[in-house]
Chains A and B, each alone.
Chain A
């Protein structure tokens, strides 16, 4: 990893969504999402509960297929990208789940190195070195032998981020990375995500309820309302927004809610 003073490598990939729709049992959750994310950009998606933020991430990572619309990652149509064997993929995408989703039966080191070991592209000593390095990046040295159940919620989130970083991804998706965390841990996670942008230049998309966090770290903030992006602007532009939902969010954030 490069030091914070160096220029970002901007090795991230661009993401483009056009008219993405997704329904469940007749209820339309995503109603035509259009969104472009630049390479190396940090985009936050905010919105009320139940507006489809997590659903949107699941379409982008390929866990679900949209009913309609097109998703392009790094110039490749998503289905084409997903069909490429892991060892031949031109770039990597990683996701940090809301509850960290660490494998309970594996230690921290095994969790972090899981993808590397399974894809067998690295020697065991290289994997060890990567695990050590990414755990240092998230300030969790010395936890290698611990099980997820022995860690706090904030530590589990950081292990999940380390697991994502282990494959040096070009695109990282975060689903509510600060949910259930206290303000100090929230700030730490925010700083960590900011450092990843500075040092690695990966494209990052964060789904969050936490508008102050989004304003502090994101290049742009997209507001999702009833399955559509109703606004996508820089934090400064967002502060002057006249969009009703954005104003609501800003008022709630000002009250510390």
Chain B
């Protein structure tokens, strides 16, 4: 197109210029993501009308994450017990249940599933929307008076936001049972599965599960809005799609960790 043909050759900036440009890029991405988030929230009013598209996206999120999520959770639960048992053997193995339960519900379940969602479903969102942007499909929607946010972003946003808390519950459950499996079969652990679960139920409160679910809601929004933002700002053919996909995953991971810290810090401040 004419723009590429006539575009100026940029001068190479110095270190300060590059730093400034990088900072502006970061601010621009955050601004675009915030703007898309607002638009997606506003478009969520159409969920009753567009519920079929939301369901399709939830099924996609589920098929992308369920099996690998189960595998990840069971092994993390098992590794937690093995590691903790080794440290606690001489002290008190009865805290194995609380350790696995609290770690899974409050931290590992939410973060693991959010990373998985961002890495699998989020990268697919960025690639799909990126391809649609590059090949003028988004523009075609606009010329047809179809709002791309309502048509494409909102179903992914709602699906990820609703699906992630469910995936976290699923991950918590499987992770806890992974730990129980090691407790049951490892002869070095002198703890019964009944004691493992009993102590876990003493220590893990409903509020701990709720914190995990709140994180899930927040991370679900991030893991959908960030990839959609990068998808919609894709430029420059297949290379651009690859760059957008990678950037979407990296940015999602960073923002998930930042918001994880903020939520944890906030919850302690409230307590």
Residues of A within 8 A of B (CB): 24-27, 29, 49-55, 58, 61-63, 86, 89, 93-95, 97-99, 101-105, 114-115, 118-119, 167
Contact = CB atoms under 8 A, between A and B. Distances in A.
B6 A61 contact: no
B2 interface: yes
Nearest to B139: A63
Contacts, number: 75
A38 B136 CA distance: 28
B8 A29 contact: no
A28 B141 CA distance: 27
Contacts of B255: none
B141 to A, nearest CB: 8
B2 A54 contact: yes
Contact of A26 (B8, B132, B135, B141): B8
B258 interface: no
A94 B8 CA distance: 32
A104 B131 CA distance: 10
Nearest to A64: B139
Contacts of B4: 50
A98 B3 CA distance: 16
B139 A101 contact: yes
A101 B136 contact: yes
A196 B136 CA distance: 24
Given A26-B8, A62-B142, A101-B136, 20 more contacts: A29-B3, A49-B2, A50-B2, A50-B5, A50-B6, A54-B1, A55-B2, A63-B143, A94-B144, A97-B136, A101-B139, A101-B140, A103-B137, A103-B140, A104-B132, A104-B137, A105-B128, A115-B144, A118-B151, A167-B144
Interface string B29-43: 000000000000000
A115 to B, nearest CB: 4
B143 A95 contact: yes
B7 A27 contact: yes
Contacts of A119: 145
B145 A115 contact: yes
B146 A97 contact: no
Nearest to B151: A118
A51 B135 CA distance: 21
Which A-B residue pairs are the 9 nearest by beta carbons? A50-B5, A86-B145, A101-B140, A101-B136, A115-B144, A27-B6, A24-B3, A95-B143, A50-B2
18 contacts: A25-B7, A26-B8, A27-B6, A27-B8, A29-B6, A55-B1, A55-B3, A62-B142, A89-B145, A93-B143, A97-B140, A101-B139, A101-B140, A102-B137, A103-B132, A103-B140, A114-B146, A119-B145
What's the dominant secondary structure at chain B's contact region?
helix
Contacts of B141: 103
Contacts of A55: 1-3
A99 B135 contact: yes
B146 A115 contact: yes
A49 B6 CA distance: 11
Contact of B143 (A53, A94, A99): A94
Nearest to A49: B5
A58 B136 CA distance: 11
B232 to A, nearest CB: 14
A153 to B, nearest CB: 13
Nearest to B134: A99
A62 B139 CA distance: 10
Contacts of B151: 118
Interface string B48-68: 000000000000000000000
Contacts of B145: 86, 89, 115, 118-119
A103 B139 CA distance: 11
Interface string B111-133: 00000000000000000100110
Nearest to B3: A24
Contact of A118 (B7, B143, B146): B146
A114 B136 contact: no
B30 to A, nearest CB: 23
